[in-house]
């Protein structure tokens, strides 16, 4: 596939971006600072068929959210990476299969509405949730279908999916099943590697990068970064280094987030011959002027800014040492 096959030179500078779901991100002074320092791309995850339901009562907000984000990115001169996810049509969408023909129809609808978008990932964490979790071959066949449709787009990039990383061996095995079914080279893989980054380890990332299906491909770290806090059940079920060492105060949480952000940069530099892009999630969790430092803010907070909008140490690190 000509559009996805273009690979950056081995010594090319890694491109850094922000992964964030909020359109307001692009109009904040903080993002302006990141952009001035060199950040030119952003990632958004949306329901693959959101536009199909743009005029459907109760479901139109998925299309409205995507439209607002994409227009804000375009106005800010930011190149978007759009990652697709499950259907917008019902609450049990995680279990609903997606036919290649249906996905292709919706993909064409999206391309017609936003022809300036050039970077795509077929599915967010397909090996973790959704219809491709137990059917990687279907994702491979979908990649083959969509890559053919993008063949004439010289500037387009297509990722087979943003792979969730806990075990590098398991993720690599999943990727191999996808590649075999695709029956065509997969030039770029997406990777979400929070566990390695927040545990300050590169073991599982390295195993994935060296796996049979991935070792000759480029990789974009599509979502990662230092996590300040998650919901209590997540921190208990899947503790990062911060939870293992009982970090609960604001200073302790922010230190572990900062150290994890630095370690993400370590991983990117260590594997820069293979890693082309890295997207940090997120600029800010839900804004909350009454937030108390050291406490959780909603279910996830990996913000470079705290919920009140104040810069955290990770923000300054990116500005001074990464971008």
pLDDT band, very low/low/confident/very high, at 96 (cuts 50, 70, 90): confident
pLDDT band, very low/low/confident/very high, at 12 (cuts 50, 70, 90): low
Q: Specify the pLDDT at position 265.
A: 98
Q: Tell me the C-alpha distance between 252 and 295, whole Å.
A: 12
Q: Specify the pLDDT at position 320.
A: 96
Q: Specify the pLDDT at position 3.
A: 36
- Over 90: is that where the pLDDT of 18 sits? yes
- Over 90: is that where the pLDDT of 113 sits? yes
Q: Specify the pLDDT at position 8.
A: 39
Range with the lowest mean pLDDT among 27-36, 86-95, 141-150, 282-291?
Answer: 86-95
For strand 218-224 and strand 41-47, is the pairing parallel, antiparallel, or unpaired?
Answer: unpaired
Q: Specify the pLDDT at position 1.
A: 40
Q: How far is CA 60 from CA 82, 83, 88, 114, in A?
A: 18, 19, 9, 17
- Over 60: is that where the pLDDT of 5 sits? no
Average per-residue pLDDT for the chain? 95
CB 75, CB 26: distance < 8 Å: yes
Q: Specify the pLDDT at position 94.
A: 76
Q: Specify the pLDDT at position 59.
A: 94
Q: Tell me the C-alpha distance between 36 and 220, whole Å.
A: 22
pLDDT tens-digit profile of 278-303?
999 999 999 999 999 999 999 999 99
Q: Tell me the C-alpha distance between 3 and 154, whole Å.
A: 5
pTM for this structure?
Answer: 0.95
The DSSP-derived string for 168-209 is: HHHHHHHHHHHHHHHTS---EEEEE-HHHHHHT--HHHHHHH
Report the percent of the chain where pLDDT is more than 90.
93
pLDDT band, very low/low/confident/very high, at 91 (cuts 50, 70, 90): low
CB 98, CB 129: distance < 8 Å: no
Q: Tell me the C-alpha distance between 213 and 169, whole Å.
A: 11
- Over 50: is that where the pLDDT of 114 sits? yes
- Over 50: is that where the pLDDT of 315 sits? yes
pLDDT band, very low/low/confident/very high, at 92 (cuts 50, 70, 90): low
pLDDT tens-digit profile of 56-82?
999 999 999 999 999 999 999 999 999
pLDDT tens-digit profile of 184-216?
999 999 999 999 999 999 999 999 999 999 999
- Over 90: is that where the pLDDT of 10 sits? no
């Amino acid at each position: 596939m000509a559009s996805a096959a273009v690979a950056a030179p081995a010594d090319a500078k890694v491109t850094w971006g922000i992964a964030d779901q909020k359109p307001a991100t692009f109009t904040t002074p903080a993002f302006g600072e990141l952009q001035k320092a060199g950040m030119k791309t952003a990632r958004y995850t949306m329901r693959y068929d959101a536009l199909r339901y743009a005029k459907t009562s109760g479901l139109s907000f998925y299309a409205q959210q995507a439209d607002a984000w994409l227009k804000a990115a375009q106005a800010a001169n930011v190149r978007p990476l759009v990652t697709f996810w499950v259907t917008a049509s019902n609450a049990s969408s995680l279990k609903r299969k997606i036919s290649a023909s249906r996905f292709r129809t919706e993909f064409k609808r999206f391309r017609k509405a936003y022809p300036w978008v050039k970077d795509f990932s077929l599915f967010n964490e397909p090996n973790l949730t959704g219809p491709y979790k137990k059917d990687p071959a279907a994702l491979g066949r979908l990649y083959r279908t969509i890559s053919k449709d993008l063949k004439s787009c010289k500037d387009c990039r297509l990722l087979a999916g943003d792979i969730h990383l806990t075990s590098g061996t398991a993720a690599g095995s999943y990727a191999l099943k996808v590649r075999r079914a695709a029956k065509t080279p997969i030039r770029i893989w997406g990777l979400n590697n929070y566990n390695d980054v927040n545990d300050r380890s590169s073991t599982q990332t390295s195993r994935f990068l060296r796996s049979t299906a991935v070792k000759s491909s480029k990789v974009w770290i599509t979502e990662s970064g230092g996590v300040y806090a998650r919901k209590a059940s997540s921190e208990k079920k899947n503790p990062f280094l911060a939870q293992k060492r009982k970090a609960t105060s604001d200073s302790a949480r922010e230190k572990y987030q900062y150290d994890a952000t630095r370690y993400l940069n370590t991983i990117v530099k260590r594997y820069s011959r293979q890693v082309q892009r890295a997207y940090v999630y997120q600029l800010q969790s839900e804004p909350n002027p009454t937030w108390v430092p050291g406490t959780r803010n909603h279910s996830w907070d990996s913000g470079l800014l705290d919920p009140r909008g104040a810069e955290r140490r990770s923000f300054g690190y990116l500005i001074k040492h990464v971008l």
